[in-house]
Structure 1
Amino acid sequence: MTTKKSLMLQEVSETPERFRVHAAAHVNLYFNLAKQIRAFSPEYVYIVGRGTSDHAGVYAKYLIEVELGIPVSSAAPSVASIFGKSLDLKRALVIIISQSGRSPDVLAQAKAAKASGALCVALVNDEASPLADIADVFIPLLAGPEKAVAATKTYLCTLFSILNIVAHWKNDEKLLSLMTTLPTLMAQAQASKPQLHLDVLQNLRHCVVLGRGFGYAIAREISLKIKEICAIQAEAFSSAEFLHGPISLLNKQMTIIDISVVDESIVAHSEQIDEIKARGGKVCTLSFFDADTSPRFLPLLIMQRFYLDIEHIAQQMGCDPDNPVGLNKVTQTR
């Protein structure tokens, strides 16, 4: 079967170069932001985002809590946009994540946070976004135009930006040094063998995506892309939470997409995956390992390979990865 080269494939293949452009353009921005955050001394971090941007926020939650020991919570944007309530965020670092920076509920939350006295940082791909006039610090993701409906390179550039914020805020010399190698590692992930294949997904109506910690953070994005691009119902769980009730799903035949991140969580996660296998779950593992790099990079490398795999599977299934039925590139919610 002949397939076209999709926009999604073209865009996700740009990621290593987009990382290089981002890093070169924002050296001073991250250095100055880190000084501003340390001077503000936030008591907690509050993250605003929808969809894929919200999933990037889950990665940020684990990274900030693990590396900096500062609690992180996720916003419910409807509190401001629908219920008209303002929160006391005067001691919060508020991170607003958006591809377009134009959704009314995200803008309403950003305005309310700024009015409350929060330090507001916006991570946005569209440099013409109104968030540029609201946030204290505006970080263009510099992912370039993304025309495919399914976000890929903007998500990865968001994770890259979050890594930069944390590494500079913590003043972690080792992590900052390793950051320079990440574009090359992303290219290596692109060149690696596929991990997810057509035979895993083609006859499925439902599947479960499991990860632990940073693996759970990207499991949410993986499950969304399986739904968006292949129209398969996929649900993400922490592998620990899956044992608390949802494991009863294994009473019927169930396919599990296992996100194995080789970090501090791997022993506990592997034990839980072994339990699932013992109960008859069919398991497909997505992983990436490089002993010479930071384990905090591994989720990005797994995602880079996954995006290529799911695009290819969609093409094989006769789905259009660029224009999934019923979806729009910019979603206006209030």
Structure 2
Amino acid sequence: MKLSIMAKEAREVPAVVAQQLEKNEGAMQELVASLKQLNPRLIYIIGRGSSDHAGVFGKYLFETEMGIPVCSAALSIAGIFGKQLNLNGAVAFVISQSGRSPDILKQTESAKKGGAFTVAFVNDETSPLAELADAVIPLSAYEEKAVAATKSFIATLSALLHLCARWSDNNALFDALNALPESLQKVIESPNQLSASYLKDTRNTVVLGRGFGYAVGREVALKLKEVLGIHAEAFSSAEFIHGPVTLVEKKLKLIALNIEDESASFHTDMVNNVRARGAECLDLGFNADAFVSNVHPRLSALLLMQRFYLDIEHIAIEWGLNPDTPPGLNKVTKTQ
């Protein structure tokens, strides 16, 4: 069976993560030395699309593990309104696969002008962004030809985890990260979790997660739109109860992302609440699977995404869609 480009690239993730960890260790040590000297009071995330979703993961990661406030840049502030922010004492994490989007470059220039120390998490090490940033952490995902990001997204999460582990001197997290490629490979070999039958005739759906599950839930919703043409929106499972839960009366199908961490019991309570109201909800995750039972809770979301990417690619093929080139999309999006 001939695999799509998206499927091939998603299956490269374990090798990408393993090589990235080895390649970036020296750069991480240098960056950590600079960050410890800077002692930033704020992490400012610059990114769009999947890169912005990776930034939400970074928010939960660095606030949870290091207590540093994290916020996302509103790119229109510099690009459209022409306003300059005071970012003295901040570090800006700029996340981009291509490193060539005009709005990302302009916001990076603005962040530097505002006093921020800029770090590019970028796949193309020859890009304008790599030249512009004060420090570069290569994603090392190689060329990604499918429009829908897969390996570059998970590679961004692993790079953020690598930095966090070294910056916070969290040896347990670093050791778990080194074992991640093996777990990712086992996930690739595991059964599908999301099926075409569940999504059959679905035009709208809601993705529910909590904490790190919500962070990757935004990426899940985006891919349902991009690859399958299904309108999907991500909510924190707690936030969904505050109003949007009325959508359940429309017989909406939901997808629950289950992460085995401190948020698990709270998320489960909210999902059970939604089910009690008559919602049909499918669970995704590896919480009860023995072969990933010892995975560090900060890494569970990466396993979920690995399986999800393969599942939606399979559904797209089954539905006669081209997962590699969704209509109306380009690999590099040029916005101001």
User: Normalising by the residue count of structure 1, what TM-score does the alignment of the two structures yield?
Assistant: 0.98
Q: Does the Cα contact within 8 Å between 1:213 and 1:265 map onto a contact in 2?
A: yes
Deviation at 1:281, TM superposition (A): 0.5
Which of 11, 19, 22 is the aligned partner of 2:20?
Answer: 22
Q: Does the Cα contact within 8 Å between 1:114 and 1:134 map onto a contact in 2?
A: no
Q: Does the Cα contact within 8 Å between 2:6 and 2:323 map onto a contact in 1?
A: yes
Structure 2: distance between partners of 1:41 and 1:333: 33
Is the counterpart of residue 277 in structure 1 residue 275 in structure 2? yes
Q: After the TM superposition, which residues 296-311 of structure 1 pair with which residues of structure 2 at under 5 Å, given as runs?
A: 296-311=298-313
Aligned to 1:179: 177
Q: Deviations over 1:46-80 (max 9, x none)?
A: 00000000000000000000000111000001111
Residue 295 of structure 1 aligns to a residue whose secondary structure is: coil
Structure 2: distance between partners of 1:241 and 1:284: 19
Deviation at 1:293, TM superposition (A): 2.3
Is the counterpart of residue 286 in structure 1 residue 284 in structure 2? yes
Which of 109, 115, 124 is the aligned partner of 2:122?
Answer: 124
Q: Deviations over 1:27-60 (max 9, x none)?
A: 1111111111111000011000000000000000
Aligned to 1:199: 197
Deviation at 1:115, TM superposition (A): 1.4
Q: After the TM superposition, which residues 60-75 of structure 1 pair with which residues of structure 2 at under 5 Å, given as runs?
A: 60-75=58-73
Name structure 1 gaps, 5 residues minimum.
none
Structure 2: distance between partners of 1:291 and 1:229: 30
Residue 298 of structure 2 aligns to a residue whose secondary structure is: helix
Aligned to 1:54: 52
Structure 2: distance between partners of 1:96 and 1:43: 17
Deviation at 1:291, TM superposition (A): 3.2
Q: Does the Cα contact within 8 Å between 2:99 and 2:124 map onto a contact in 1?
A: yes
Structure 2: distance between partners of 1:45 and 1:296: 19
Aligned to 1:165: 163
Is the counterpart of residue 141 in structure 1 residue 139 in structure 2? yes
Structure 2: distance between partners of 1:250 and 1:175: 38
Q: Does the Cα contact within 8 Å between 1:261 and 1:299 map onto a contact in 2?
A: yes
Which of 326, 329, 332 is the aligned partner of 2:328?
Answer: 326
Structure 2: distance between partners of 1:112 and 1:257: 38
Structure 2: distance between partners of 1:123 and 1:195: 30
Aligned to 1:312: 314
Aligned to 1:100: 98
Deviation at 1:4, TM superposition (A): 4.1
User: Normalising by the residue count of structure 2, what TM-score does the alignment of the two structures yield?
Assistant: 0.97
Structure 2: distance between partners of 1:19 and 1:154: 10
Name structure 2 gaps, 5 residues minimum.
none
Q: How many residues align?
A: 332
Q: Deviations over 1:64-122 (max 9, x none)?
A: 00000111000001111111111001111100000111111110110111112211100
Q: Does the Cα contact within 8 Å between 2:94 and 2:121 map onto a contact in 1?
A: yes
Aligned to 2:219: 221
Residue 226 of structure 1 aligns to a residue whose secondary structure is: helix
Q: Does the Cα contact within 8 Å between 2:184 and 2:303 map onto a contact in 1?
A: yes
Bigger shift: residues 150-159 or 168-177:
168-177
Using the aligned pairs only, state the percent identity.
Answer: 48
Structure 2: distance between partners of 1:204 and 1:175: 39
Structure 2: distance between partners of 1:63 and 1:233: 28
Aligned to 1:238: 236
Q: Does the Cα contact within 8 Å between 2:124 and 2:130 map onto a contact in 1?
A: no
Structure 2: distance between partners of 1:247 and 1:20: 41
Residue 184 of structure 1 aligns to a residue whose secondary structure is: helix
- Equivalent position amino acid for 1:214 in 2: F
Aligned to 1:13: 11
Structure 2: distance between partners of 1:185 and 1:67: 22
Deviation at 1:202, TM superposition (A): 2.0
Q: Does the Cα contact within 8 Å between 1:141 and 1:157 map onto a contact in 2?
A: yes
